[in-house]
């Protein structure tokens, strides 16, 4: 780390709620935020934002005539970004940077526009500008009236943590002192769900916990999709109003052996975690918030990587996928939100269907992992101020 990076605010909209208080309260419950919904005439397990959250997004959509044509991916990002900069005390005149990513982007709009094209053999006027990936950060910049750099990208499911890496790089370069970073995803659409089902990784469980993340005894894949967005305010240096400090980061990419390649011992994670630790004693890590999507191979390979890096001094491990499913490009920052909450409240959130772990006496250092198709791993190390 060239320069200490402070997190001065985080905000989200997810199945857990629309505020940190609501999110933390939801984590106190052992019930997942998962329901059975109908897509293309078939029942599917998903994790939707709450009815109250849907109402807030509907109000946002109606607040500006231009927003009526935007996808939920963009609206989620705008909603969370407004809350984040308000908490951080940022103003438009700060000209802070923006880097918001998404694995899929405007999935609902894209599917709707494509269906219309197949029917009429003609594309609708706004089909291109409202479905480009850069659509997210550019609309957030418009809404917040900042004129700093704005960037969008997709690095599949590690997208949000890659946006943090990018924000850190800009700050360390001296080109910007503040960066709003995060991820947004609204993947609960028929074609997106069908894609995951085609990979044979989608959950068909009927029990209390349809996503069995970190259950190493499961015999079936149990990943399911959720929606949401989370935004983080990064600032140069150690700030008195910081809620956590980024003290390490790591990244690695595996060489593809097939389209969703990751080695059996997740060598990408071994490298990213070792890089994030740098000279820190692994024994000082209290908790790891794992990517753990609920698939057999994904969960076990990441855990093997942790065993290889931390040896016989394993930190407590957890994941929020059992609670809210996999939110693709937003998942890394929603995991980071859980890490920050555990640091703030000094309480470890375990997974209810697993044998209870020994909770850390205090939570000072938390590592957050994320990885996407092809082994694009990122590890972020947070420390208590």
Higher-confidence residue of 385 and 261: namely: 385
Q: Are strands 97-101 and 150-153 parallel, antiparallel or unpaired?
A: parallel
Across the range 65-85, mean pLDDT stands at 97
pLDDT tens, residue by residue, 314-334: 999 999 999 999 999 999 999
pLDDT at position 4, please?
A: 86
pLDDT at position 347, please?
A: 98
DSSP string, 165-180: HHHHHHHHHTS-SEEE
Please say whether the dihedral angle defined by the alpha carbons of residues 95, 68, 191 and 50, taken in this order, is positive or negative. positive
Torsions phi, psi of 302, nearest 5?
-65, -40
Across the range 275-297, mean pLDDT stands at 95
User: What share of the chain has pLDDT > 90, as a percent?
Assistant: 92
260 pLDDT band, cuts 50/70/90, is low
Beta bridge partners of 35: 46
The residues spanned by each domain of the chain are 5-236, 244-383
Burial of 62 (0-12, 13-18, 19+ CB in 10 A): exposed
CATH topology of domain 244-383: Peroxisomal Thiolase; Chain A, domain 1 (3.40.47)
Distance CA(23)–CA(28), nearest Å, equals 9
Tokens at residue 323, please? 């609670």
pLDDT tens, residue by residue, 144-193: 999 999 999 999 999 999 999 999 999 999 999 999 999 999 999 999 99
Greatest pairwise CA separation for the chain in angstroms? 63
Residue labelled with tokens 């024994």: 283
Distance CA(244)–CA(88), nearest Å, equals 13
Residue labelled with tokens 């970190």: 214
pLDDT tens, residue by residue, 87-96: 999 999 999 9
263 pLDDT band, cuts 50/70/90, is confident
343, 348, 352, 357: CA torsion to nearest 10 = 150
pLDDT tens, residue by residue, 202-230: 999 989 999 999 999 999 999 999 999 99
Check pLDDT > 90 for residue 374: no
pLDDT at position 279, please?
A: 84
52 pLDDT band, cuts 50/70/90, is very high
Domain 5-236 identical in fold to domain 244-383: yes
- 311 CA to centre of own chain: 27
Distance CA(34)–CA(89), nearest Å, equals 34
How high does pLDDT run on average in the chain?
95
pLDDT tens, residue by residue, 99-153: 999 999 999 999 999 999 999 999 999 999 999 988 999 999 999 999 999 999 9
pLDDT tens, residue by residue, 1-23: 567 899 999 999 999 999 999 99
Cβ proximity of 286 and 316 under 8 Å:
yes
pLDDT at position 310, please?
A: 97
298 pLDDT band, cuts 50/70/90, is very high
259 pLDDT band, cuts 50/70/90, is low
Beta bridge partners of 38: 43
DSSP string, 89-148: T--GGG--EEEEE-SS-SHHHHHHHHHHHHHHSS--TTTTTTTSTTHHHHHHHHHHT--S
CATH tag for 5-236 (out of 2.40.30.170, 3.40.50.300, 3.40.47.10, 3.40.50.620): 3.40.47.10
């Amino acid at each position: 780390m060239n320069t200490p990076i402070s997190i001065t605010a985080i905000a989200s909209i997810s199945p857990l709620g629309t505020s940190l208080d609501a999110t933390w309260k939801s984590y106190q419950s052992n019930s997942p935020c998962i329901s059975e919904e109908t897509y293309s005439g078939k029942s599917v397990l998903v994790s939707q934002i709450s009815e109250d959250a849907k109402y807030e997004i509907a109000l946002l959509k109606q607040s500006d005539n231009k927003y009526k044509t935007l996808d939920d991916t963009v609206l989620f990002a705008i909603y969370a970004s407004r809350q984040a900069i308000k908490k951080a005390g940022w103003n438009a005149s700060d000209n802070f940077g923006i880097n918001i990513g998404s694995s899929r982007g405007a999935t609902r709009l894209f599917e709707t526009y494509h269906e219309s094209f197949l029917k009429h053999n003609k594309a609708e006027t706004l089909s291109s500008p409202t479905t480009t990936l850069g659509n997210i950060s550019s609309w957030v910049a418009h809404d917040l009236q900042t004129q700093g750099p704005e960037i969008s990208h997709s690095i599949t499911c590690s997208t949000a943590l890659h946006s943090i890496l990018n924000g850190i790089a800009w700050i360390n370069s001296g080109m910007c002192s503040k960066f709003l970073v995060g991820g947004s995803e609204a993947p609960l659409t028929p074609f997106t769900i069908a894609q995951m089902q085609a990979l044979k990784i989608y959950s068909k469980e009927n029990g209390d916990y349809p996503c069995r993340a970190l259950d190493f005894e499961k015999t079936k894949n149990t990943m399911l999709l959720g929606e949401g967005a989370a935004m983080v305010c990064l600032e140069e240096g150690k700030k008195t109003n910081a809620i956590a400090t980024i003290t390490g980061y790591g990244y690695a990419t595996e060489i593809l052996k097939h389209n969703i390649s990751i080695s059996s011992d997740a060598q990408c994670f071994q490298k990213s975690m070792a890089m994030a630790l740098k000279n820190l004693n692994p024994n000082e890590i209290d908790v790891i918030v794992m990517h753990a999507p609920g698939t057999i191979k994904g969960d076990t390979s990441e855990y093997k990587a942790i065993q290889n890096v931390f040896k016989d001094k394993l930190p407590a491990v957890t994941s929020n996928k059992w609670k809210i499913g996999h939110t693709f490009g937003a998942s890394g920052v929603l995991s980071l939100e859980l890490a920050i909450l555990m640091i703030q409240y000094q309480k470890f959130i375990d997974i209810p269907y697993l044998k209870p772990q020994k909770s850390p006496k205090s939570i000072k250092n938390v590592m957050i992992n994320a990885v996407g198709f092809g082994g694009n791993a990122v590890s972020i190390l947070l420390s208590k101020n």
